[in-house]
A = this chain, B = another copy of it.
Amino acid sequence: MIVKARYVSRLLLVALFFCSASVALPLVEKQTFTAKQFRLFSGKVLPEVKVGWESYGELNAEKDNVILITHYFSGSSHAAGKYQESDEQPGYWDAIIGPGKPIDTSKYFVISVDSLANLSAYDDNVITTGPATVNPETNKPYGLAFPVVTIRDFVNVQKAVLESLGISKLHAVIGPSMGSMQAIDWASAYPDWVPRMVSVIGSGQSDAWTTAALEHWARPIRLDKNWKDGSYTRETAPVEGLVSSLMLITQQALHPGFFNQQGSAISYKPLESAPLEDIRQSHSIVSWLEQRARSRADKMDANHLLYLVRACQLFVAGHNGSLQEGLSSIKAKTLFMPAANDLLLMPYLSTRTFEQLREAGKNSHYVELEGNLGHLEGVLDIQEQGEQLKSFLNDKK
């Protein structure tokens, strides 16, 4: 019953958004940022970096009302609002970003930037630089000639975007999942920029479990005969490998509670006749998952997925020798918000980072998201902790 109430409340939120949008909210516009000779954390240099960004609310004269939103693995800078009235869905965190919402755009200038190697390379609303980008030296897509990029590089691109706007300090940085990695890295790498940091469904580092778990996302792509060591065109892309990867990611980001509701909705049964009769046939729930993945694969690039996996695998806050070292430089007040039922980045990852910060005498807070969506609680249901978030962001440091 709790779940149903949640669904209804989410529907209501969406409905309310439609109403208010038609009255007042301005439409969102994607901007482009370009940098030349961009030096990566590895020391390698990209001749050109081009990324998209978008913002909500107004930058004040002092340029000190900036909240940076860092996005998750399969996300983009589209955190809130709509590009056109007719868009089916607003940005992913629209429930908490807007006038009067926990991240209040009547007070704050909220900004978000597309990552390097963004998964949705072929989405018209995403601007990114990655293996699918044309290498100016060869006039072909980089493929695996593209250098490995890290969470730190995503942070440094965001910093360059902010500096191009004359910004030199944030009010806060906040992000879910891979976005949480960027938020923590911001607080560690540029402590004077970051007075407040919120890590949602995140981790202070990729432990052995997480790095190995991420590898399973990459392997189906590398097995696809169309992958060809990363040298493919969009027309001959390793779609089947990408679909398999997305199926795995989708399930791991959910929880049995929610997943089995979907099963009931499509009348899943273990003993279905098609998969009993023929090894090549699938259960209804498998077909459901596959169709969901296939519909998303169209705008995504398989090599980009490999590079995002690697960026996450390499992550330790501060990009130093140890998590402890990385956390030691943090000056921000911090808030950790794992999802209790998260099976992908389990709460222990947040707990350990939070505890290490407390042990180092830092001002750190912890609150769990409830609900049955698993990891996706932090993307689709974060408004559950909207009040906590609001008071954390509005408190004087």
Contact = CB atoms under 8 A, between A and B. Distances in A.
Interface of A: 41-42, 144, 146, 148, 150, 205-209, 211-213, 215-216, 219-220, 223-225, 230, 240-241, 244, 247-248, 251, 256, 259-260, 262-264, 268-272, 275-280, 282-283, 285-286, 289, 306-307, 310, 313-316, 319-321, 343, 346, 348
A209 B256 contact: yes
A279 B256 contact: no
Contacts of A215: 247, 282-283, 286, 289
28 contacts: A42-B276, A42-B277, A144-B279, A146-B279, A148-B275, A148-B276, A148-B277, A148-B278, A206-B270, A207-B260, A208-B285, A209-B251, A209-B256, A209-B260, A212-B247, A215-B283, A216-B244, A216-B247, A220-B220, A225-B225, A230-B279, A256-B346, A256-B348, A270-B315, A271-B319, A272-B314, A275-B310, A279-B306
Given A215-B289, A247-B216, A208 B275 contact: no
B251 A213 contact: yes
Contacts of A256: 207, 209, 346, 348
B276 A208 contact: no
Contact of A212 (B205, B213, B240, B289): B289
A144 B240 CA distance: 20
A276 B150 contact: yes
Given A280-B144, A306-B279, A211 B314 contact: no
A268 B144 contact: no
A150 B319 CA distance: 50
B219 A244 contact: yes
Contacts of A278: 148
B244 A220 contact: yes
A232 to B, nearest CB: 14
B319 A279 contact: no
Contacts of A41: 276
Contact of A224 (B207, B223, B262): B223
A314 B212 CA distance: 29
Given A244-B219, A251-B212, A310 B263 contact: no
A209 B211 CA distance: 23
